[in-house]
Structure 1
Amino acid sequence: MHDRTPDWIAAAAGARLLRAVDPTREGSAAAGPRRAVIDSRVVLPGDLFVGLPGTQVDGGRFAAQTLAAGAWGALVHPDHADAAQEAAAGVVLAADDPLLALQQLATAWRRQLAAVVIGITGSTGKTSTKDLVAAMLRAGGRDRLIATSQNFNTEIGLPLTVLGAPPGTDTLVLEKGMRGPGQIAQLTRISEPDVAIITNVGPVHLELLGSVAAVAAAKAELLTSLRPGGTAVIPADEPLLEQYLRDDLQIVRFGPGGDIEDLPGVRLLSEGIELTSAHMRRNALAAAAAVRAAGIEPRGDIEVALSARRGQRERLAGGVIVVDDCYNANPMSMRAALDDLAATAPARRVAVLGDMLELGPDEKRFHSEIGVHARDRGVDVLVVVGERAAYLGAGSNLGNVHAVPDAATAARLVPTLVQDGDTVLIKASRGIGLEVVAEALRAARPGEDVA
C-alpha cells in the first residue's frame, strides 16, 4: 500500500482522515503504509497501526506510542483519536468499528492488486494444501505470491495477510479458518477469491455446529460466496457439498472418480525427502486443480515448505524419527496420521496422542474409535494425554498403553519409553500443547538430520 495516499486509505477503510501528513515534508510519513499491524509491540517505521478493541485491553490506547515509534499512521476508534493526535507525526484515522475498517481496507487493496486469489478451507489439511499450492505456484515461476502464515486465517489475520502484500503481488493463497456459521462467508467477502478449495468435510467443531452436515454447510460458504465464473475445487467423494454447487461456477472434483485422480511425473519433497503419505498426495490433487485454474501446470520435483508442526519428520540420535504433528487434531486427521505411521515406520511405532477438542457429546466414541484404529495400524506403544484421550487408550485394547493427565507429564515420560529406531508420532488438538513432548525428545536425543 506504500503507493496509496492517506486520502485513499481513509476512503478505502471507510474511516475519517483526521490528520494527513504531507509526504513531501522531511521526516513525515511516506505516501502510504507498507503493511497493517495490530500489535503495538511489533510496529516498525512505515506501518499502519490498527487499534482493535479487545476483551482485556483496547489497542487504540497505544496509538500515540506507535506513532512516536515511527508508524506511518494509526487507525483507531474516535475515543482514542485525540490522544493519537498528540504524537508529533503520523497519519491519524478514526472509525467507529476499526475491525470493519481493517477488513474493508483489505478488500480495497485486494482489488487494487488485481491478483489471483485462491481461498482454502476444509476440516483437515487446510494448511498443508496451502503450502502445496504455494510450492506448485513457485515451481511454475509464479513467485510474486503471498500465502497465509502461521494461523493468520481469521477475520483479523486474513486482512492483515492481504494488506501485507506488496504492489506487484500476482497471487494470494489464503487459508480460511472457521469457528462457527458465517465466518467463512465473511472471509470470502473480504478476499473475493477466484478459486476455492474445500479439502474435505468431517467431524470437527461439533461442539458448536452439532452435525457433520452443519460442518459441510459452514465450509460451503466458500462456494456460495464465490464470484460467478470462479473455480470450485471439491472432493469427488463428498456428497454433502453437492447441494451448494452453482451453475455459474467451474467445478473440479479431485480424488478417486474425480476430474483429477493422479499427478504423474510430480514428486513432492520436503527438505529433500519425498512426501508419500496418502493424505498428502490427496491434498496435492486439490492443490494441483487450483494451480491449474491459476494458469500453472505442476511438473517434476516440487519442494514444499511445510508449516510448523504439520507432520514434519526429524531424525534424532539412535535413528529415532519424530513426526511432529501436534498443531491440531480431529478424527479424520488422527486416522490419516496413524495410517502414515503404519506405512512408514521401519521398526516400532510409538504414538503420543492427546485430546481431540470440540467434538461435542460423541467425543467419547470418537476417541475410542481412534484407539481401535491405532491398534489396527500396529501401534506398539501408545501414550494418551488428557481426560478425553483416556477413552482412546481404553478403546485400543493394547497392552502397552500409558495414560497421563497432561503434556508436561508426557514430556517426562516419553523419552524414557522411546528406543533406538522408533518412529514417534505426536498429535493432539492445539490446546493440549504436545509440542513439549517433541522438545523433550530433542533434548534427550540431540540430532540434526531431517528424515
Structure 2
Amino acid sequence: MTLWTAAEIAAATGGTMSGDFAVNGVAFDSREVGHGDLFVALTGEQTDGHRFVEQAFAQGAGGAIVSQPVSRPSVRVGDTFAALEDLARAARARVAGKVIGVTGSVGKTSTKEALFAALDRAPGIRAHRSVKSYNNHTGVPLSLARMPAATDFAVLEMGMNHPGELAHLTTLVRPHVALVTAIAPAHTEFFPDERAIADAKAEIFRGLEPGGTAIVPFDSPHRDRLIEAAKPYAGRIVTFGMDRAADVGAGDAMTLRGGGSFVNATVGGRELNFTIAQPGRHWISNALAVLAVADAVGADVALAGLALAELGGLPGRGARITVAVGGKGDASGEAVLIDESYNANPASMRATLAVLAQTPGRHVAVLGEMRELGDGSADFHAGLAADVIAARVEAAVLVGQAMAPLAEALEGRIDFVHVPDAAQALDRLRALIRPGDAVLVKGSNGVGLSRLVSALANGIG
C-alpha cells in the first residue's frame, strides 16, 4: 500500500521532486531501510545521511528526501530535518482517526505497546504506533510520517530529558488523548526536583485537540499539579490508579500463579474483571491507564481487557527468556532471564526487583548503573539496597562506576561483585549462574546490558 507519492512529499515539504515515485515506509537510518521505503538523509553532528543514499537504494529504497543533488529518485529540500517534521505534520493532518499521546517517567513504552494491542484487537480497526522507543525529536516525526492516512487509532510515545521538548513534540502529534503514566526520578541531572519533571511531562497537554482528554495517575503525589496543568487545554480530565476513588480504579487485585494479576476495576462507572499476563504491581497501573484511554476514545474496553491477558513480554522491558545453563538441554539445565535491559531509573528498578521477588528460583540480579540522575545519583543508587534485600537476591553483579554506593550499602549483606562494564558482567554471570535461577538484568540503556542478554539467550557455555 502506498504511503506517500513523490508529489505528496514535495507538497508537504515544499521540495522539488526529481521524478515520480511512490513509497510504502519511511526511515532515516540506512541500516533499517526496507524495500520501497523513503530514506530521509538527515545531517547531524556525527554524520551526514547523504553518505548513505546509495546504500539505502541498494537495500531497496523507493525514494529519498535530500538537501544535496543525488542521481536517485528524490525530493530535494533546504533542510532534511525540517522536511521530516513537515511530512509528520502532513501525516497528522490527513488522519481522521483518534490520536493518543503517551509520556511518563516510567511505563510509557510498555503502556504504548499494550494500548496498541488493545486497540488493534477489534475487527476492521487499523491501528498505528511508534515502534521501538522512537519518542524523541527525530523519533516522533518519523513515527508520524510512517502513519497511514486510513489510521483509526494512533498511539505515539513522547519522551524528554529537558524542559520544552514535549511542548514542541505535542504540537506535531496533536493528540485527542494525552496520557501521563507516572512521574518518577529520571533525568534528574537536568531538573531541580521532581515537581519540575512533572511540569515538563505536563507539556503534553498543550497539544491536545479541542475537547481532548487528559489522563493522569491518581496515585501520584503530583496528581493535582498535573490536573492543574491540564485544565487550560483539556475538555475532560480522567484519573487512573490503585484506588476506587480514581475514575478508572482498581478495587481488588490478586496475584496469579505465574506472576500475572486478576483485577477487579471500575471504568467509567462500570465494573470490569480482567487478567494481566505481565507480572508486577506496576503492570496493574499500566493496565488501568490502557483501559482509561480505551474508554476515552470509544474503543471496546472488554476487548482491551482480553488483550492485556494475552500480552507477551517486551524485549528489554520484562520479556522472559529461558536460557540453557551448562550446555544441558533438559529443564534442570535451564534458568529464567527477566530482560529489563532497556533502561532504568529508581522507580523502575524498585518495580522490577519486586517482580523478581515473586519469581520462583534462586534470585540473581545484574544491575547496571542508572544514568542522568545528577547530584542525587549516589543516594538513588545506595537507596536500592533495601529493595535488593527484599527481593531475596542471593547473588548480584553490579555494573558501572555509579553502582559503587550500592556496593557499599550491600557489603556483608549479600554476595555480589562490582564490575566496570557489561563484558565483565557477562563473564561473572557465566561463572555464577545455576540451573533453576531467576536472573534479573536491568540498567540504563547506555550500560549495554542488552548485549549481555543476547549472549545469554544464545546459551551459556
Quick check: TM above 0.5?
yes
Deviations 1:140-182 (A, max 9, x none): 3364111111121122122222222334221111111212122
Aligned to 1:19: 18
Distance 1:70 1:279 in 2: 42
Q: 1:395 to 1:141 in 2, by over 3 A?
A: farther
Q: CA deviation at 1:333?
A: 0.1
Unaligned 5+ segments in structure 2 are 251-264, 266-271, 325-331
Report whether the alignment pairs 1:10 with 2:10. Answer: yes
Q: CA deviation at 1:5?
A: 5.0
Aligned to 2:452: 437
Q: CA deviation at 1:203?
A: 0.8
Instruction: Decide which moves more: 117-126 or 230-239.
Output: 230-239
Aligned to 1:26: none
Report whether the alignment pairs 1:211 with 2:193. Answer: yes
Give, as a single letter, the amino acid of the residue that structure 1 aligns with 2:288. Answer: L
Aligned to 1:53: 43
The answer as to whether partners of 2:170 and 2:206 remain within 8 angstroms in 1 is no
TM-score by length of 1: 0.87
Distance 1:42 1:353 in 2: 30
Aligned to 1:381: 395
Q: CA deviation at 1:227?
A: 2.1
Identify which of 386, 391, 402 aligns with 2:417.
Answer: 402
Identify which of 317, 337, 342 aligns with 1:310.
Answer: 317
The answer as to whether partners of 2:103 and 2:181 remain within 8 angstroms in 1 is yes
Deviations 1:66-100 (A, max 9, x none): 568764433222xx1xx32xx2x6243222x2212
Deviations 1:265-314 (A, max 9, x none): 2223xxxxx32310111111111111111212332532224431101112
Aligned to 2:228: 243
Identify which of 249, 269, 273 aligns with 1:265.
Answer: 273
Q: 1:419 to 1:64 in 2, by over 3 A?
A: closer
SS at structure 2 position matched to 1:229: coil
Q: CA deviation at 1:395?
A: 1.7
Distance 1:143 1:346 in 2: 39
Equivalences for 1:27-426 in 2 at 5 Å?
29=21, 32-44=22-34, 46-63=36-53, 71-77=61-67, 80=68, 83-84=69-70, 87=71, 90-95=73-78, 97-141=79-123, 143-238=125-220, 239=222, 240-246=225-231, 248-255=234-241, 256=243, 257-262=245-250, 263=265, 264-268=272-276, 274-299=277-302, 301-302=306-307, 303-317=310-324, 318=332, 319-342=334-357, 344-397=358-411, 398-426=413-441
Distance 1:6 1:442 in 2: 43
Instruction: Decide which moves more: 55-64 or 407-416.
Output: 55-64
Q: 1:444 to 1:20 in 2, by over 3 A?
A: closer
CA RMSD of aligned residues (A): 2.4
Task: Indicate the structure with greater strand content.
Answer: 2
The answer as to whether partners of 1:371 and 1:394 remain within 8 angstroms in 2 is no
Distance 2:91 2:106 in 1: 29
SS at structure 2 position matched to 1:202: coil
The answer as to whether partners of 1:139 and 1:298 remain within 8 angstroms in 2 is no
Q: CA deviation at 1:220?
A: 0.7
Q: CA deviation at 1:109?
A: 1.3
Q: CA deviation at 1:419?
A: 2.5
The answer as to whether partners of 1:382 and 1:393 remain within 8 angstroms in 2 is no
Distance 2:147 2:274 in 1: 29
Q: CA deviation at 1:216?
A: 0.9
TM-score by length of 2: 0.85
Distance 2:455 2:57 in 1: 42
Distance 1:436 1:40 in 2: 22
Give, as a single letter, the amino acid of the residue that structure 1 aligns with 2:409. Answer: G
Q: 1:69 to 1:194 in 2, by over 3 A?
A: same
SS at structure 1 position matched to 2:321: strand
